[in-house]
Structure 1
Amino acid sequence: MKLDLTGKTALVTGATGDLGRVMVRTLASCGADIVIHYNQNAAKAEALRLEVGALGRRAVIVQADITDSASVTAMKDTVEQTLGAVDIVVANAVIQYQWTSVLEQPLEDYTSQFESCVMQSVYLAKAFIPGMIEHKQGGRFIGINTECAMQNFANQSAYVAGKRGMDGVYRVLAREVGEHQITVNQVAPGWTISDRDRDNGTEHSEGYERTVPLKRRGTDQEIANAVAFLASDLSSFITGAYIPVSGGNVMPTI
């Protein structure tokens, strides 16, 4: 038994980011062709394209503003003209901002989180799910959420609001497209170790690790592994799920 994505095409938004790059490599290693979405970092996108090619997979680079419907639609048109239909969508991109209290948080940060968490997912669904339905081969729609959506800690309000709104869209969408064998799920990382931490020597945080049942931070590869599983046929009967990959730091209840 293995994660085999041969013959599938996967789109990863925010592919040039710390987590996005590992997702791209992992999905390509499982056999998928890759749509490498970026907003600003063309150089990293090209480097990723070369990595995917070295793995024997096809890749196309597409620049798009994931908070703009027309830009997402244009991305879809470009992808279909180059790689064909998309089978797997991973909504990973998010706008970064400085966290502070509700009383101090600039109003535009709430808008940016709504646009990059909720509306990105809506635009991607409208652009790519009709093609999945038309091709009658099922599909995978995967969103990157966060453990913060369950924690609701101080200074997280804009981020949590965006991700909790995103959660609602995914749960409803799972019910709406399930009859087409399209699954809709969310991966919710904890505070994840990335290349930035490795470069800066900041992999460990005693205070945070003390709260985690597994007593450590997760890695970018562990998040990408969960995404690859949900993208594969091994997850064919899982939909509507919010799956923390946080070492037990948050646990959804029944």
Structure 2
Amino acid sequence: MNIDLSGKIALVTGATGELGRVMIRTLAKCGADVVIHYRSNEARALELQQEVQSMGRRAIIVEADITSQDSIMNMKAKVVEQLGAVDIVVANAVVQYQWTSVLEQAAEDYRSQFESCVLQSVFLAKAFVPGMIEKRAGRMIGINTECSMQNFETQSAYVSGKRGMDGVYRVLAKEVGGHQITVNQVAPGWTISERDRKSNSERNEGYEKSVALKRRGTDQEIANAVAFLASDLSSFITGAYIPVCGGNIMPSI
């Protein structure tokens, strides 16, 4: 049984980031044509585009501000013009900021997390779900985090944004399920990425002790979960928050 995304068009926001790059490569390897979204790193987006095209897949790069509905709607217009209607949307982008305590965290940091987690999800749905409804098929996949269940010190802005995102996705799953559109979330743990490999910082014994599998996961393992949810193999899964963190968190029933 293989994951076959042939004939599908997949959009990944924040595609030039550590996890986004691997998601793009993995979706392309599964046969999808891809939309590489970026905000500022055009050079890396172009490199990724060339890499995907060398696989024989179509790939375009699109710049957009994921906190702006107008910008996302402009991105949609470019994608439809150049590739066609999007089948798979992966909301991976998030604004980065310095974590600190609730008492010291700037109000703007809470605002940036709300805009890049909650509003991004809303704007992407408004832009791309109508096309999925027309085809009676589609995949909306949000990248959440294990932090949403940890609620550790200094996580408040990030957790508040991702928990808000979780609410949007659960409600959206019920609203569009009748159109055979699935809406799910992947929640990575502290993941090994290209940056860690270059700096030889893959190991962290303190963190690994709390993980059931006693190791950190990899960017490829996150991308594998995304590819599964993007495929027909996940056709009866919707409204799910799926931790990909080696058992570091375990949602209860």
TM-score range normalised by the length of the shorter chain: over 0.9
Q: Secondary structure at the match of 2:214?
A: coil
Post-superposition CA distance 1:11-42 (Å, at most 9, x none): 00000000000000000000000000000000
Q: Secondary structure at the match of 2:70?
A: helix
Q: Show the 5 A alignment for 1:42-121.
A: 42-121=42-121
Q: How far apart, in 2, do the equivalents of 1:201 and 1:78 lie?
A: 39
For residue 179 of structure 1, what is the aligned residue in structure 2? 178
TM-score (norm 2): 1.00
Letter in 2 for 1:25: R
**Are residues 1:214 and 2:213 paired?**
yes
For residue 134 of structure 1, what is the aligned residue in structure 2? 134
Q: Secondary structure at the match of 1:36?
A: strand
**1:135 positional shift:** 2.2
Q: How far apart, in 1, do the equivalents of 2:182 and 2:165 lie?
A: 16
Q: How far apart, in 2, do the equivalents of 1:238 and 1:57 lie?
A: 27
Q: Could you list the runs of 5+ residues in structure 2 that have no partner in the other structure?
A: none
Post-superposition CA distance 1:151-183 (Å, at most 9, x none): 000000000000000000000000000000000
**Are residues 1:195 and 2:194 paired?**
yes
Q: Show the 5 A alignment for 1:207-246.
A: 207-246=206-245
Q: How far apart, in 2, do the equivalents of 1:75 and 1:171 lie?
A: 25
For residue 15 of structure 2, what is the aligned residue in structure 1? 15
**1:134 positional shift:** 1.2
Q: Secondary structure at the match of 1:10?
A: strand
Post-superposition CA distance 1:191-248 (Å, at most 9, x none): 0000000001110000000100000000000000000000000000000000000000
Q: How far apart, in 2, do the equivalents of 1:251 and 1:14 lie?
A: 27
For residue 147 of structure 2, what is the aligned residue in structure 1? 148
Letter in 2 for 1:203: E
Q: How far apart, in 1, do the equivalents of 2:220 and 2:54 lie?
A: 19
Q: Show the 5 A alignment for 1:154-165.
A: 154-165=153-164
Q: How far apart, in 1, do the equivalents of 2:210 and 2:250 lie?
A: 13
Q: Give the count of matched residue pairs.
A: 253
